[in-house]
Amino acid sequence: MHSLRSTATRAVRLLLDQQPNTTAKIAFAWTIAAGPALARASRLDWATDGTLRVQASSDNWRRELRRARPTLAARLAELLGPDVVRKITIG
């Protein structure tokens, strides 16, 4: 038996796999991976070389994003595949 979370993640991954890699697709995956609070506290810039630049809205959010970076990277890889977002920089 699979959990609802893992089933939902697989379903979203299948839908995202059918779309081209665009900034909008990466932003959508970021919102899911980061959750509503972190997503609202950040602005994204995605480069086709796989670098995701995240700009935090304050120093406190910057610290939270840096702490969460490994988890966020794993979630993005789960949603988008391992080679879409290769590096996350937080400023």
- pLDDT reported for residue 17: 82
> Where in the sequence is the domain holding 84, given as residue range(s)?
4-90
pTM of the model: 0.87
Helices (H), 2-58: 4-17, 23-40
For 55, 58, 62, the CA distances from 81, given in Å and listed in that order, are: 23, 29, 25
Element (H, E) at 68: helix 59-80
Number of domains within the chain: 1
- The residues facing 53 across adjacent strands are 45, 89
User: Could you report the average pLDDT of every consecutive run of 10 residues in the chain (91 residues)?
Assistant: 72 82 94 95 95 97 97 96 95 94
